[in-house]
Amino acid sequence: MVNRPPTRQVYRRFSDCSVSEKLLNSLFLATMGVAYILAMVYLYTSHEGLDGKPGLSVDDVAYTYYGNRSGTRLEAALRGSMSAHLTFEERDKVVEWIYSGSPKAAFDSEIQPIFEKNCISCHSGRSGIVDLSDITEVKKLTDVDMGKSIGELARVSHIHLFGVGMLLFLIGRIFILCEMPGILKKIIVGIPFLAIFMDIGSWWLTHWKPLFAYAVMLGGGLTGLSIAFQILMSLYQMWLYKGGKKY
């Protein structure tokens, strides 16, 4: 019987990879990096300005998931930009109708005449601005915006968890070939998974309380930073890092 010396498990590192493996890894990481940047551009353009101000802000995130429950677009217009077009009594009548659930019968008997007298000259539907003679169009302005519904949240959440989970796994598989103290590597591999749960979990929490929009941004930012770090560190160690300490 041979007496084997106690051996330590030796793990693979980038220095064990063939050039073609490094090339494949690098092209994959670069593609994911570009895809991530484009995802950010899409996110910015689709959420920016929802709160009426340019740029992406916490309020935009809150509007997306919580909605704007403080009132309806019709009431906001009646109290704001359109207030000059009707009397206070007429306005209160319309607002009361909104709060009673905007029933069709009352629209025909009480609201339509008010719109007819004050609004239809501009809002007839011919002019391209909202048609106030059509109750289905008016109804769209009297629904309270509740943000994303539970169904929509479940839809975008599961797509993101499948997609981002897969992405983090593959990027992480490459990243763990880096030379780096074990504890540091464990943390850096773990952070993006925590961050994505924080991000997506906070979509749901923001639907419930708008304050969680801060956690959405924090989670999203942390996910992006940790992915960027893993990609850049892997590319650096694959091609530029010359030995140094082995871990």
Binding residues for ligand HEC (CB under 6 A): 73-74, 77-78, 81-82, 85-86, 118-119, 121-123, 129-130, 132, 141
Query: Is the distance from CB of 221 to CB of 40 less than 8 angstroms?
Result: no
- Rg (C-alpha) for the chain, rounded Å, is 28
Q: What is the identity of the amino acid at 244?
A: G
Which one, 25 or 72, has the nearer CB to ligand HEC? Answer: 72
3-state secondary structure of 52: coil
3-state secondary structure of 68: strand
Provide the minimum distance between the beta carbon of 71 and ligand HEC in the complex, in angstroms, as a whole number.
11
Provide the minimum distance between the beta carbon of 46 and ligand HEC in the complex, in angstroms, as a whole number.
18
Query: Is the distance from CB of 178 to CB of 185 less than 8 angstroms?
Result: yes
- Interhelix angle 58-65/19-47, nearest 10 degrees: 80
3-state secondary structure of 74: helix
3-state secondary structure of 145: strand
| Residue 127 C-alpha from the chain's centroid | 34
Provide the minimum distance between the beta carbon of 177 and ligand HEC in the complex, in angstroms, as a whole number.
54
Which one, 16 or 134, has the nearer CB to ligand HEC? Answer: 134
What is the C-alpha separation between 153 and 201, in angstroms, rounded? 10
Provide the minimum distance between the beta carbon of 170 and ligand HEC in the complex, in angstroms, as a whole number.
44
Provide the minimum distance between the beta carbon of 221 and ligand HEC in the complex, in angstroms, as a whole number.
32
DSSP 24: H
Region of 118 please: left (phi>0), alpha (psi -120 to 50) or beta: alpha
Which one, 18 or 81, has the nearer CB to ligand HEC? Answer: 81
Which one, 138 or 235, has the nearer CB to ligand HEC? Answer: 138
DSSP 108: I
What is the C-alpha separation between 148 and 186, in angstroms, rounded? 35
Which one, 25 or 102, has the nearer CB to ligand HEC? Answer: 102
Which one, 86 or 191, has the nearer CB to ligand HEC? Answer: 86
Provide the minimum distance between the beta carbon of 152 and ligand HEC in the complex, in angstroms, as a whole number.
21
Provide the minimum distance between the beta carbon of 113 and ligand HEC in the complex, in angstroms, as a whole number.
12
Which one, 46 or 121, has the nearer CB to ligand HEC? Answer: 121
